[in-house]
Structure 1
Amino acid sequence: MYDELKYWYLRDHKLFWTLSMSQIKQLCIITGFKKANKGEIIYFSNSDVPRIFLLKKGSIKIVAVDEEGNETIKDIIQKGDLFGELTLENDAQSNEYAKVLSDDVAICSFLMSDFENLLLQNPSLALSYTKFVGLKMKRIKNSYVNLISKDAKTRLYQFLKDWAEKEGKRTENQVVIENYLTQNDMAQIICTSRQTATQLLNEMETKGLLVYNRKEIIITDITKL
């Protein structure tokens, strides 16, 4: 049952569609499967045994820590996304960790060395992986450009619009988002203080743009953001 679960999780991911049934089963032999609960830290970038992770269920935040100990949310990982040592290089200077945001998550992982060997054996998978990582790095780069060029209010509005598009349930112009982020999380994502993020959210509620609570965020009219 355990191996079958891993098998179907991998087979379902678009990155591995180019592999045959036998190759997927071979891949399952080197795959670690893990479940984790909300608040659990599941990855440190300076690990002695670097891994690549594939998220199959739930949400995770990647937090970067600078030399002074300040934390910034670098990325929010969703179902089907990859994280870990994606460049296939163990960067000793990198200091980040992954923490579970949702009630529970399911993760597949590979030793970086095993995954490198797999890519060497399967050129089509290597090409798919290169494109996959390239698009991910481009998205992260674009998010940093937006942080530099826009004020906090604009960054918050843009973040909420992106979040609504990815995960929100839309009824006409109203969008409901399951809220697994704290106000401090949002502040870190848009690189501002918690006080500023709270003030901006309160202003949006006063203007009738959204309804905010710990369980959900209701954007009353997405076209007005």
Structure 2
Amino acid sequence: MTPQFSLETRYWHLRDHQLFRHLDSAELRQICLITNFKSARKNEIIYFAHDEMNRVYFLKKGVIKIVELDVDGNEKIKEVIQKGDLFGQITLDTVETDEYAVALSDAVTVCSFKIEDFENVIQQNPTLAIKFTKLIGLRFRRLENRYTNLMFKDVRTRLLLFLEEWAEKEGTPTPEGITLKNYLTHQDVAGLICSTRQTVTQLFSELKQHGLLDYNRSNIIIPDIKQLRKFTV
């Protein structure tokens, strides 16, 4: 984990976040005094929920996954969190869970607040409270869409919708098509779409055979996102 972040570094990290960028310098510097920052490298655990139940986290840099252990002790991925997203006790109450966060990208930076401190901040800044509520709403809407897909879509369609959403969020246009950094294993993808690793591997091979994507350990390339969308029908 990281070295200490200076007050100036904290200031610029917060200034860059969509939730805080509307605040003036004095307000931001005051908030910097109550934030905690940490960094992690790929595969490092960032936090255990049962050890830090009273914090809300904001992902400043990188990608992480939220996971928990099932009754057999197997890791079950619940959600992928990307830059700008929040996690932890986002409902601002202390609900016990067994989840933990793991860094997926090479470098991750998060900032966090104790719940009571963050409640004081949003009480003093109504605009901040509105922005926070909108972020929570977007997060729950994504989860709602995911669960709707789980209930009403078949596995292949769920995978294709997942790939399309991933491409829209993180895809980089290249001469070969939309390129994604491949930080998820087939087991991770299977957990996110409620399937098995074997099925996901089979579907990836099928999509590759149809020319709808190419992939290796580093990247996933989608030559034509429109063709991928048509394949969902």
Give TM-score scaled by structure 2 length.
0.90
Determine if the alignment matches structure 1 residue 102 to structure 2 residue 94: no
Root-mean-square deviation (CA, aligned residues, Å) is 1.8
Deviation (angstroms), 1:17 = 2.9
How many angstroms apart in 2 are the aligned matches of 1:136 and 1:196? 27
Unaligned runs of 5+ in 1: none
Q: Which residue of 2 aligns with 1:39?
A: 43
Q: Which residue of 1 aligns with 2:182?
A: 179
Question: Are residues 116 and 193 of structure 1, via their aligned partners in 2, closer, same or farther at CA, if it must alter by over 3 Å?
Answer: same
Contact 1:61 1:98 in 2 (8 A): yes
Determine if the alignment matches structure 1 residue 17 to structure 2 residue 21: yes
Runs of 4+ more than 3 Å apart: 64-72
1:193-212 mapped onto 2 (5 Å cutoff): 193-212=196-215
* Deviations 1:111-137, CA, capped at 9 Å, x for gaps: 112111112222221122112111211
* Deviations 1:34-75, CA, capped at 9 Å, x for gaps: 110111111222225521111111100112444554543222
Deviation (angstroms), 1:173 = 8.3
SS at match of 1:136: helix
Whichever residue aligns with residue 129 of structure 2, its letter is A
How many angstroms apart in 1 are the aligned matches of 2:53 and 2:148? 32
Contact 2:53 2:94 in 1 (8 A): no
Unaligned runs of 5+ in 2: 229-233
Question: Are residues 141 and 95 of structure 1, via their aligned partners in 2, closer, same or farther at CA, if it must alter by over 3 Å?
Answer: farther
Give TM-score scaled by structure 1 length.
0.93
Q: Which residue of 2 aligns with 1:5?
A: 9
Question: Are residues 129 and 27 of structure 1, via their aligned partners in 2, closer, same or farther at CA, if it must alter by over 3 Å?
Answer: same
SS at match of 1:16: coil
Whichever residue aligns with residue 31 of structure 1, its letter is T
How many angstroms apart in 2 are the aligned matches of 1:137 and 1:221? 29
Deviates more, 1:39-48 or 1:202-211: 39-48
Whichever residue aligns with residue 122 of structure 1, its letter is N
1:1-225 mapped onto 2 (5 Å cutoff): 2-67=6-71, 69-92=73-96, 94-171=97-174, 174-225=177-228
How many angstroms apart in 2 are the aligned matches of 1:172 and 1:103? 25
Whichever residue aligns with residue 161 of structure 1, its letter is E
How many pairs are equivalent? 224
Whichever residue aligns with residue 35 of structure 1, its letter is S
How many angstroms apart in 1 are the aligned matches of 2:166 and 2:141? 18
How many angstroms apart in 2 are the aligned matches of 1:138 and 1:45? 22
Contact 2:78 2:192 in 1 (8 A): yes
Contact 1:3 1:28 in 2 (8 A): yes
Deviates more, 1:195-204 or 1:63-72: 63-72
How many angstroms apart in 2 are the aligned matches of 1:173 and 1:87? 42
How many angstroms apart in 1 are the aligned matches of 2:226 and 2:165? 13
Whichever residue aligns with residue 157 of structure 1, its letter is L
